[in-house]
A and B are shown apart, each in its own frame.
Chain A
Amino acid sequence: MTEPDATPTPDASFSRRGLLGLAAAGGIGAVAGLAAGAAIASAPDATGGTPASARYPFFGEHQAGITTPAQDRLHFAAFDLAPDATRDDLASLLADWTEAAARLTQGLEVGEAGAVGGSPYAPPDDTGEALGLPASGLTITFGFGPTLFGTADGVDRFRLAARRPAALEPLPRFSGDALVPERSGGDLCIQACADDPQVAVHAIRNLSRIAFGRAMLRWSQLGFGRTSSTSTSQTTPRNLFGFKDGTANIKAEEPDAVAEHVWVSREQGPEWLVGGSYLVARRIRMIIESWDRVQLAEQEALFGRTKGEGGPMSGGGEFAAIDLAATARDGSPVIARDAHVRLAHPETNGGIRLLRRGYNFVDGNDALGRLDAGLFFLSFQNDPEHFVTVQRSLASDGLNEYLKHVGSAVFAIPPGAHEGDSIGDTLLN
């Protein structure tokens, strides 16, 4: 796959149901080939989203779901390998996941027999809730946590310790962290993004089922709305503080920036991870009841951007460059010292840029009757240290009064697989 990642195919008739016969006749290889052949450029719809029928190739140089235009919905899951799992179990799981993901992302059922085509005496192959739904832009992205390469007490379960990337360490503690271990870490992760929540959930559900006995769910997170744009073809969405989010993000249309900041290069290594990336996930709870009582001017000062258009407080429209040096008549900085965009800006962080791909979440409410709401922050970068640098800079962020980081994880994201290979082959073989 070349950047920008993939182009959606505007073919609504290409649904799971329609493909059943085709899959049976030609097998997944034929279908994938057909999908790639059919992947012609098409303009996203007027709302700046992707058409529901968008279909992205699974196989390619890089995994999809990173520079792919951020879909509207997320289901993210972290897994632990079973206590007695072997290296062979890990390899077979990754092979089975690859095969399933290659089908699901093309709008097919998880296996050939599907939800209703199998033996009446066996549970259906596919759980069925996505029957009749198009691919919905589904991407499935796999990652490896530090514990896969050795547990905290130094056990090398899969003979992978020697292959651990030096950069893949558990994240350090940050000031203000209130991390819950059950919402953090994991040996493996799967990020499923789609424009239909049912399609994203269907993917995680079926992939979890495939894993039973080899790996089991550790924690998972639903995201109901994207808080980022990763393509200039998309409109900028808003986070739950009501601000446009993703304005200054790395976009797929900036291949040089993507190459410089997102993909692991040969010089960085290790060899098996070249063309891959690192994913940081942070479940950030927002104290929205308090936030909603903050005056508009104060809200804008805390971000350093206007709430309406999202332009920098130093002037100009949404995409105007931020002028961190601008001063008011009294000599005070126009973009406050503790403003989020000042502290997160590349100029403040030695040129570092992250590819952000987070989602809004509301998981019911807490015992005090406050919404359990926030931002499930996801960022891709070719060194986790880049995230660490920005997050340390954000220690004095004025927003922190309204935020609590409760979950945290880091994963190495292997490069994409070529057709016929499995995700993780470069690591295991």
Chain B
Amino acid sequence: MPAADGLNSDGTSAWLDWRPSTPEQRTQFGDQLVADVQQLFDQVTDADFSVSLSDISNGAIGLLDEVATGKISGEEDWWSHTDLTDFAANVDGASVAFGNVQKLAAQSDEGAKLAEEIETQFDALERVLAQYGSIEAGFTPYDQLTDAQRKQLSDAVNALAEPLSQLTSTVLGL
């Protein structure tokens, strides 16, 4: 069972579980994540705050990695054709988590550059996704996408995942 914050104790995403979550669960995870993040944010002065912060940014990284390894290849679509919805939910989750550490990350010049790059790539990925629908209105079934369209999604995920993978060490300043 996923922990309440949607993150496993090792910081990876609990959504790696193969079972597709329901929209309600997802909203719940999301709300909980935001609440937890807020709490962590308040505890920034705490001695062990760095561990919590890395959980958040690792959570963002994990959500996107899950997209890159599972959702893009189409491997997860054996139970339904709605995996662009999962895809978009992961991107949203990663975006929320990123948003909460963005300010911290941007404290150094290097961090500010990284945060800006991550933001740009989130926007770009969201634009590509938006071609196929929205979480509210639903998405084109993934199996109707051409290989070229899948590659475009995959390219956009890689473009985001690469700078995002640097986020934890930048946030921690370690």
Q: A213 at interface (Cβ–Cβ under 8 A)?
A: yes
Q: Is the CB of A213 within 8 A of B158?
A: yes
| Given A84-B124, A213-B121, A123:B158 Cβ within 8 A | no
CB-CB nearest in chain A for B120: A213
**Assembly CA distance A64 to B159 (angstroms):** 30
| Given A120-B174, A122-B169, A216:B158 Cβ within 8 A | yes
| Given A119-B174, A120-B174, A121-B54, A213:B159 Cβ within 8 A | yes
Between-chain CB contacts (< 8 Å), 19 pairs = A82-B159, A118-B169, A119-B174, A120-B169, A120-B174, A121-B169, A122-B165, A122-B168, A123-B165, A123-B166, A209-B162, A212-B158, A212-B161, A213-B159, A213-B160, A213-B163, A214-B159, A216-B155, A216-B158
Name the prevailing secondary structure of the B interface residues.
helix
**Assembly CA distance A123 to B64 (angstroms):** 15
**Chain A residues with Cβ under 8 A from B172's Cβ?**
121
**Assembly CA distance A136 to B172 (angstroms):** 38
Q: Give residues of chain B (140-174) contacting chain A, Cβ–Cβ below 8 Å.
A: 152, 155, 158-163, 165-166, 168-170, 172, 174
CB-CB nearest in chain A for B166: A122
Within the complex, what minimum Cβ distance (angstroms) separates A379 from chain B?
A: 29
Within the complex, what minimum Cβ distance (angstroms) separates A86 from chain B?
A: 11
The 8 A-B residue pairs with the shortest CB-CB distance in the complex, in nearest-first order:
A213-B159, A122-B169, A121-B169, A119-B169, A212-B162, A121-B168, A212-B158, A216-B155
**Assembly CA distance A227 to B160 (angstroms):** 40
Binding site for B on A (CB under 8 A): 82-84, 118-123, 209, 212-214, 216
Within the complex, what minimum Cβ distance (angstroms) separates B46 from chain A?
A: 18
**Chain B residues with Cβ under 8 A from A120's Cβ?**
169, 174
CB-CB nearest in chain B for A119: B169
CB-CB nearest in chain A for B148: A182
**Assembly CA distance A83 to B124 (angstroms):** 10
**Chain B residues with Cβ under 8 A from A123's Cβ?**
165-166
**Assembly CA distance A172 to B151 (angstroms):** 28
CB-CB nearest in chain A for B127: A84
**Chain B residues with Cβ under 8 A from A83's Cβ?**
152
| Given A121-B169, A122-B166, A212:B174 Cβ within 8 A | no
**Assembly CA distance A59 to B124 (angstroms):** 36
**Assembly CA distance A213 to B174 (angstroms):** 25
Q: Is the CB of A121 within 8 A of B174?
A: yes
**Assembly CA distance A151 to B170 (angstroms):** 38
**Assembly CA distance A121 to B170 (angstroms):** 9
**Assembly CA distance A212 to B170 (angstroms):** 19
**Assembly CA distance A113 to B36 (angstroms):** 34
**Assembly CA distance A120 to B124 (angstroms):** 29
**Chain B residues with Cβ under 8 A from A214's Cβ?**
159
